[in-house]
A and B are shown apart, each in its own frame.
Chain A
Amino acid sequence: MEGTHMATQIKPDRGMVEVNQEECKGCGLCVDVCTPKALQLSTGLNRYGYHPAEYAGHGCNGCGLCFYACPEPGAITVYKRTLAEPVAA
């Protein structure tokens, strides 16, 4: 997922989100709280019949609010960039 879009961006994303598709129940609270609109509900269904949230692949600013908005303990993991410049840029 990363790498493909990186080259086209001027400024690298400050963060990244991972959504555990099988833990997510598709409530959408993380989508609502994401100011850069980097999260969306999948059009597909997970094994439990929910439309799980997914990371759009870019745009995360690493604010971490989606983590707190999410009611599942481990559905969302938020990462922040540690290096000033992406290695592949």
Chain B
Amino acid sequence: MSEFSVLQQKAESFYPNYGRKAELQHQTHYCPGCGHGIISKLLARAIDELGIQDRTILVNPVGCSVFGYYYFDVGNIQSAHGRAPAVATAAKRARPHSVVVSYQGDGDLAAIGTAEILHAANRGEPITVIFVNNAIYGMTGGQLAPTTPVGAKSTTTPYGRSIFNEGYPLHVCETLASLEAPVYLERVAIGNIKGILQAGKAIRRGLENQVNGLGFSLIEVLSPCPTIWKTTPQDAQKRIREELSKIYPVGVFRDLTGDRGARPAALPAPTLNELPALLELDAAHTFETPDRRPTQAVDWRIKVAGFGGQGVLMLGEVLAEAGLAAGLDVSWLPSYGPEMRSGTSNCHVRLATHAIDSPLISRPNVLLALNEPSLRKFVHTVEPGGWVLYNADTLPPDCRRDDVNFVTDSFTKIADGIGDTRVGNIVMLGALMEAAHLVGDEQVDAALAHTVKSARWLEFDRKALVAGKLAARRIVQGVVQ
């Protein structure tokens, strides 16, 4: 053995063992003869050769291409189906020095992810995309992909792809070559060793472009899927050579690497210390928030409902701000929809001493109903023992319950007395605080001061708050806890 030295061996960029099922940690998930294994190897080799292992980020979307993070000892992000170019964009902009590789299949890139790849290419994002095209959905068992050849049978085209039903095979390199921004577009085919070596060169080129700060590079690799094609690894490679390479000719579709200079990198993100100035905060402002949560556990689930213009969303916002001021975890979820146009609009606010799992509130323990339709719609969802504030003098008989606390008054009329009907929501807020003591007075006042920018309105709102408190003292109906 001493007279031999290693010529080719497993790339450094691969983990020695893969974090998968214990029995199988020494081998990949891929089927025998799979193109992914070869492409991964070429990619790992290129990463090794360029010495960029420590600054490579691989984005693994959905499909067999997801497995990259098991094998590659680089930074890894898993993205939603088709969204890898968007995630890669974010990674590259946040970390301009990183080499970001989006590794995607054709079901991912050319179907559900068409928008992401098209726009990432059009923006000329300086990322490298490895597009593994096997002309089928492999992982899910062989459904038609946009890249499937005309006439080819798949589980979703049992009679063969029809141009009238499923259209023509989508040519990604040609499509992207119609854009101005991409710097490098090449299609290769791993149907034989020559094609494999060419693919290796192209992939390395794609990474080099990024190292050199050039723009968008995409390498499309026609890749065999022997299992789903129901053929041997040898015949699968033959199909690449004889069929797919005819539909998808190999070659360089765009090479502006010599013409385009380096792209300016995205500006680095500001440091934490620079943020106060950017946000026009006091220079001494600190982002470290001490845990000020009250010791007694609470979970206020508040639904505010009314007509548009009654201040539903604003009331919710003040509640959430007050919760924040009180050191609680908060969420504020406006419910938009057709009801925003002449119907009930509502928002969900949660104030809790624990982390909030869902901002959606279907069983409120506080309901603020600014009109009758809202009361009718939600009064029966309120948890027993909860609070219902209703903006009218009397409850409709069919909305009565004896297991919740009602506070009913014409809060809007009180607001009219103050001078503007629009502060009715804050009158109601005052009544709620007096009745149920969600948070302290000073926290509500701080929240108002934070939310209301105009000094005139803040004065109105403060008056409204007091008026609401006085009203609630007069009227507490129903069961009191």
Contact = CB atoms under 8 A, between A and B. Distances in A.
Interface of A: 2, 15-16, 20, 22-23, 25-29, 32-33, 48, 50, 62, 64-65, 67-83, 86-87
Nearest to B71: A73
Given A69-B196, A72-B37, A29 B233 contact: yes
Contacts of A86: 3
22 contacts: A16-B4, A20-B26, A23-B27, A25-B33, A26-B32, A27-B32, A27-B233, A29-B233, A29-B234, A32-B234, A48-B27, A64-B7, A64-B8, A65-B193, A67-B7, A69-B38, A71-B32, A72-B30, A75-B27, A76-B8, A80-B4, A82-B4
Interface of B: 1-11, 14, 26-28, 30-38, 40-42, 44, 71, 193, 196-197, 200, 226, 232-234, 237
A18 to B, nearest CB: 9
Given A65-B193, A71-B41, A73-B40, A79 B233 contact: no
B1 A2 contact: yes
Contact of B44 (A15, A32, A62, A73): A73
A71 B234 contact: no
Contacts of B5: 79-80, 82
Contacts of B197: 68
Given A68-B200, A80-B4, A87-B3, A73 B32 contact: no
Contacts of B40: 73
Is the contact region of chain A dominated by helix, strand, or loop, or is it mixed?
loop
A19 to B, nearest CB: 12
Contacts of B6: 77-79
Contacts of A78: 6-9
Given A27-B226, A68-B42, A71-B38, 13 more contacts: A15-B4, A25-B33, A33-B193, A69-B196, A70-B41, A71-B28, A71-B33, A73-B11, A73-B71, A75-B27, A77-B10, A82-B5, A87-B2
Nearest to B35: A71
Contacts of A20: 26
Contacts of A72: 27-28, 30, 37
A50 to B, nearest CB: 7
A73 to B, nearest CB: 5
B193 A71 contact: no
B41 A73 contact: yes
Q: Closest 3 CB pairs between A and B?
A: A71-B37, A74-B10, A67-B8
Given A71-B38, A77-B10, A28 B3 contact: no
Contacts of A28: 33, 232-234
Given A22-B27, A27-B233, A74-B10, A68 B4 contact: no
Contacts of A83: 3
Contacts of A22: 26-27
B234 A25 contact: no
Nearest to B196: A68
B460 to A, nearest CB: 70
Contacts of A71: 28, 30, 32-38, 41
Given A15-B7, A78-B7, A79-B7, A73 B196 contact: no
Contacts of B10: 73-74, 77
Nearest to A71: B37
